[in-house]
Amino acid sequence: MRSQHWFDAVQKCQHNGEAYALITVLGCSGSTPRDQSSKMVVTGEKTYDTIGGGQLEFVVTNKARELLAHNNDAQQIDHFPLGASLGQCCGGSATVLIETFAACDFQLAVFGAGHVAQALMSIVAGLPCKVTWVDSRAELFPASLPDNVRAVVSDDPGYELEQLPAAADVLILTHNHQLDYELTETALRHPCLNSIGLIGSDTKAQRFERRLAARGFSAEDIERLNCPVGLSVVPGKLPMEVAVSIAAQLIAARQHPGPDESGKQRGISWKTIKQQLSHEQRPVDSRGRGSSLKLSD
C-alpha cells in the first residue's frame, strides 16, 4: 500500500494499537534510491511509503518484520553497501535505522450496546486500545465505528467472552441482569482476564456475590469482580458521567509504575551509535568526495 504517507501510517497504527516499524535512512553516500531522512512504515502485512524500493527495501522490510515478531519496542541500525552486499546497480551505500513499536496490549471487551457503552466508545476511540463490542441487537450499533472498535452481533455473548485473549479487560454493561450474571460467571471462569467490571449498584454487587458463592465460587474468585465498576470519586449518573468514571478506572489500572530505572540503559547506547556511524557512514561532499562524519559527545 503506497498511497499512504509514513506519518499517516504511524498515526493509524498507534490509534489501532497495531505493531509497526518506522524505517529511516540516516545517511547515504554515492548513488542511492532515496536520500537521507526518507522514511517508510512496515507492519506484519503491509508497507507504507518507500525508501526507494529494490533490494534495499526488500531486505530492510524483512529485517523489520523479524524484529516485529518479538513484539518489543526496539531500535537497530544497519549499514548496506548497495552494490557489494545487495547487488543494486546504483552502487552507493545507506545507513538505516529500524525502530519497532510493540502492539498495544490494552484489549477491551464491552458487552452491551446501551447508553453507557455508546458514551464509552466516544472515549476509548481516542485511546491506544483494541475494543470488541458485543450485543445481540444489531440496530444499537452506530453506522460508523472508530477504527479501533469492532462490533460483534451475537446471540451467544458467553461464547464471545470465552474466546477473549489473555489479559483482556471485560466490561459487562448489558440491559439484562440475568445476562449480566451469566456473563459474570463466564468471566470468572476465564483464568487470564486482566479485569472484570460490572455495571450496577452496591445492592446488585451483594446479590451477585451471594449467588456466586452459592454456585461454588471462592472468595478469591469473587474478589476479581469489580462492581460497581468505575471510580467512586467521579460522581454522576448520566451515561457520559458513568462512562468517564469507567474509562478513568481502566486507564488508572493500566499504569504500572515500577522501581526507578533511570540509571539503566534503554535502547541503543550512545557509544554503540557513535561506533556504528563513525565507522560506516561517510557522507559525500559537493565535489563527490567522501568525508568523515564527526560526532560530538
107-253: which CATH number, 2.40.50.180, 3.40.50.720, 3.30.70.270, 3.40.1390.20? 3.40.50.720
pLDDT at position 89 is 54
SS3 119: helix
Contact in structure between 164 and 132 (CB atoms under 8 Å) = yes
Q: Domains of the chain: which residue ranges?
A: 6-103, 107-253
- Upper half-sphere CA count for residue 263 (Cβ side, 13 Å): 2
**Residue 84: burial class (beta carbons within 10 Å; 0-12, 13-18, 19+):** exposed
pTM for the predicted model, two decimal places: 0.66
pLDDT at position 276 is 66
Contact in structure between 85 and 103 (CB atoms under 8 Å) = no
Cis status of the peptide bond prior to 228, with omega within 30 of 0: yes
Query: SS3 letters for 118-140?
Result: HHHHHHHCCCCCEEEEEECCHHH
pLDDT at position 27 is 82
Q: How many CB atoms lie within 10 A of CB 225?
A: 20
Q: What is the DSSP letter of 113?
A: -
Phi, psi of 117 (to 5 degrees): -60, -40
Per-residue pLDDT of the chain (297 residues; tens, 9 = 90+): 445 899 999 988 887 778 999 999 988 887 777 778 899 999 999 999 999 888 889 999 999 999 999 988 889 998 888 765 555 555 678 889 999 998 878 899 999 999 999 999 999 998 888 899 999 999 999 999 998 899 999 999 999 999 998 889 999 999 999 999 999 999 999 988 999 999 999 999 999 999 999 999 999 999 999 999 999 899 899 999 999 999 999 999 887 544 554 455 666 677 777 776 665 545 444 443 333 344 445
Q: What is the DSSP letter of 268?
A: S
